Amino acid sequence: MNNKTARQDAISSISEKEIQKSAYDHLQEPAAQMFGNKVFSDYLMKQRLPKAIYKSLKKTIEEGNPLEPEVADVVANTMKEWAVEHGATHFSHWFHPMTGLTAEKHDSFVTPQSDGRAMMEFHGKELVKGEPDASSFPSGGIRSTFEARGYTAWDATSPAFIRDTTLCIPTAFYSYTGEVLDKKTPLLKSMYALSEQAMRVLKLFGNATSKRVITTVGPEQEYFLIDKQFFYLREDLVMTGRTLFGAKPPKGQESEDHYFGSIKTRIMECLKEIDAELWQLGVNVRTRHNEVAPAQYEIAPIFSTSNIAMDHNQIVMDTLKKVANRHGLACLLHEKPFAGVNGSGKHNNWSMATDDGFNLLDPGDDPYQNAQFMVFLVAVITAVDKHGDLLRAAVANPGNDHRLGANEAPPAIISIFLGDQLTEIIEQLETTGHTKDSGKGGKKMEIGVTTLPPIPKDATDRNRTSPFAFTGNKFEFRAVPSSLSLGGPNIVLNTIVAESLDELATQLENSIKGGKTLEKAVQEILSEKIKKHKRIIYNGDNYVQEWIDEASKRGLPNLKTVPDALPILLEQKNVDIFAKYKIFSPRETESRYNVLVEIYNKTINQEALCTLNIGKRQILPACIRYQGEVAKSLAAVKSVSSNSEIKPQEEYLKELSSLNSQLATKLVELDKILGHEDEDILKHAKYFRDTVLPKMSEVRQVADKLETMVDSQFWPLPSYAEMLFLI
């Protein structure tokens, strides 16, 4: 009965942890001490680098020029000196392989000298380029192991930082053939593609000052924190990130007393330390609060450029786990750790801004800015309507299949929420080619002549059920799963908007060449685009059946699961758009598809094996032991009781025994179906979805029923109530 003691020990030790203080209380010092001191920020570069070197580096960062070797040497040495002063002994190229996680390999600065001594050295070529063995990273068929050479190249636009005595250098990762093996490179390419097309539009509007357009992202990260001892007692959480068993607790989230609630002391100590550590790493986290489900929280930084946001989000996820661990907690980033309880997402707030700081999705306050805003807004509407399927595929992961469409997250149907006011303006623009002031007696409002009415930014106006919502000066892509890298969704978003900006720019340029004024051209072209793409706009409740029916009438795809969504990537139009904007070659697109399908297959296989393991080695043995106890005591009681008196207990034993038999049978069935093999990875994925997952839930149903009957002293796994409420 070791399990029983472990579980009970876990419960009894929790009360003591409440009073544990953060080891980081000294960080309650002036913010300046926390800020930036582990990041080789622009401020530090400017302070420490010779002027000419700094200028040259800035040029590289801003214009993407190659870094001269002499410049790289000075930068590397300066970085090293700073890093060593701050306790670093190692450096590492830090990158985003297709696993969706990050990878690092540490080398120390210690370099042997010819006279036998060793010095702390770091050279330009080590800063700029690395050569990790690429053979054990997923490539989706691009590179075979015998040609395993892979390279990393410094992404100078994302600053280096020190973590655990290591200077981490954000890098891109590619193969010997130049084909890309990571999520950073295509993201940078997509940002570049969007910038190029957006600049064409800005030029038409007479913008002569901006040099580039930058895409910005601010992700809201949801996660769970539970006691670490419970986590360790759940093989399912440890191995797969989600509970594969667990009866509903007597209290769930229906009391709605957790959302924005007062944060428990023990959690607060952990959150304070998370914030402090992230600030040190240059991640400007701003909000923290309790989320809807018990034990669920959210953290959001101030937005930054897409590539830095991606780097930072990985640092956030990593830091959440590490700091939680120090506080005796486990951070769960899975999309659905607990069945029947809200899961976690990652709202991807997204916009476009000029390098001189103007947000292109801000309506602005004069007619000229308004017209420009309408062009960018319609570009996004067009892109999302044309490529909703790609956006859906970009958020497909095994965990998200438990959320999308489950009335807690947006459905798998991609649509846009614009709000009533903006929708009305859009509709007027469609019919008349110009907008009218709403409700004020038909005062005409022409593009480029009069101003838009103020668009509300108020949070209360927002529709929380839409997968893609306009929130005043940005879009919030809400279907992104909590554990996913920000790379995929933002690569797609940037690429599809680049395409529609490209089309718009070409049409506007031609129209103007043909003698039209900019205003006239904008009116005509936007009107045509809106007519074509307005079906994507939906301001109602996305959770109701009527919307699903309506969406199907509108021809909007409803790709419910990963095996439905991923094949989209291979459709010609999608292969073409990535190739056209030089994001992925057709071979690279195919390789991404392979990697993603294989991740799905491996995940479900691991979940199924884990279900078997827990079922066969923990739950069934406990239930049979308990059944024996009941049978024994029943036999003993029988000699002194009448038949009618003992009957209900016999029924209880019978039900127990019947459920035990069912569990044993289902486990054998699950075991059997796992032997399946298929050359075709997509067919295999569908087999996992249609045959394996349903069998796993049959096993679970029986086991969960048993959990409500079996003496809790015998039950080997921490219950939902214990995990969600005991902190």
The correct pick among 171, 210, 216, 466 for binding ligand ADP (CB under 6 A) is 216
Which amino acid makes up residue 414?
I
Q: Which pairing describes strands 285-290 and 475-477: parallel, antiparallel, or unpaired?
A: unpaired
d(CA 273, CA 28) in angstroms, rounded, equals 10
The answer to whether the CB of 565 falls within 8 A of the CB of 396 is yes
Please give the sequence-ordered ranges of beta strands (E in DSSP) within 317-474, or none if there are none. Answer: 329-332, 346-354, 416-417, 435-436, 444-445, 468-470
The correct pick among 7, 474, 534, 689 for binding ligand ADP (CB under 6 A) is 474
The one of Mg ion, ligand ADP, none whose footprint includes residue 337, by CB under 5 to 8 A per kind, is none
Give Cβ neighbours of residue 50 (< 8 Å, ≥ 6 apart). Answer: 74
Instruction: Please say which residue, 22 or 348, places its beta carbon nearer to ligand ADP.
Output: 348
Residues 593-632 contacting ligand ADP, CB under 6 A: none
Instruction: Please say which residue, 217 or 656, places its beta carbon nearer to ligand ADP.
Output: 217
d(CA 428, CA 221) in angstroms, rounded, equals 37
Helical ranges in 452-585 per DSSP H: 487-513, 518-533, 545-553, 562-565, 572-580
Minimum gap (Å) between residue 479 Cβ and ligand ADP: 14
Minimum gap (Å) between residue 224 Cβ and Mg ion: 16
Residues 219-238 contacting ligand ADP, CB under 6 A: 220
Minimum gap (Å) between residue 377 Cβ and ligand ADP: 14
The answer to whether the CB of 370 falls within 8 A of the CB of 452 is yes
- The closest residue (CB) to Mg ion is 220
Minimum gap (Å) between residue 289 Cβ and ligand ADP: 8
The answer to whether 31 contacts ligand ADP (rule: CB under 6 A) is no
* Segment lying near ligand ADP (by CB under 6 A), choices 127-135, 343-351, 443-451, 643-651: 343-351
Give Cβ neighbours of residue 244 (< 8 Å, ≥ 6 apart). Answer: 236, 607, 610, 611, 614, 696, 700
Minimum gap (Å) between residue 304 Cβ and ligand ADP: 8
Minimum gap (Å) between residue 190 Cβ and Mg ion: 25
Minimum gap (Å) between residue 220 Cβ and Mg ion: 4
d(CA 685, CA 33) in angstroms, rounded, equals 50
x/- binding map, residues 243-282, to ligand ADP, per CB under 6 A? ----------------------------------------
Minimum gap (Å) between residue 401 Cβ and ligand ADP: 24
Residue 518: name the closest of 209, 228, 206 by CA. 206
The one of ligand ADP, Mg ion, none whose footprint includes residue 349, by CB under 5 to 8 A per kind, is ligand ADP
The correct pick among 134, 167, 201, 217 for binding ligand ADP (CB under 6 A) is 217
Interacting residues toward Mg ion by CB under 5 A:
220
The correct pick among 243, 305, 349, 490 for binding ligand ADP (CB under 6 A) is 349
DSSP characters for 43-104? HHHHHHS-HHHHHHHHHHHHH-PPPPHHHHHHHHHHHHHHHHHTT--EEEEEE-BTTSS-EE
Backbone angles phi, psi at 115, to 5 degrees: -85, 10
Instruction: Please say which residue, 432 or 463, places its beta carbon nearer to Mg ion.
Output: 463
The correct pick among 91, 223, 338, 350 for binding ligand ADP (CB under 6 A) is 350
d(CA 292, CA 408) in angstroms, rounded, equals 10
According to DSSP, the residues that pair with 154 across neighbouring strands are: 171
Distance of CA 699 to the CA centre of its chain: 30
The correct pick among 28, 177, 287, 713 for binding ligand ADP (CB under 6 A) is 287
Which amino acid makes up residue 214?
I
x/- binding map, residues 288-307, to ligand ADP, per CB under 6 A? ------------xxxx----
The answer to whether the CB of 593 falls within 8 A of the CB of 394 is no
Minimum gap (Å) between residue 298 Cβ and ligand ADP: 7
- The closest residue (CB) to ligand ADP is 218
Q: What angle, rounded to 10 degrees, do the helices at 487-513 and 572-580 form?
A: 80
The one of ligand ADP, Mg ion, none whose footprint includes residue 405, by CB under 5 to 8 A per kind, is none
Minimum gap (Å) between residue 258 Cβ and Mg ion: 14
For residue 524, the tally of other CB atoms under 10 A from its CB is 16
Q: Which two tokens stand for residue 625?
A: 């032991």
Q: Which two tokens stand for residue 536?
A: 């994507």
Given the rule CB under 6 A, which residues bind ligand ADP?
216-218, 220, 287, 300-303, 349-351, 359, 459, 473-474
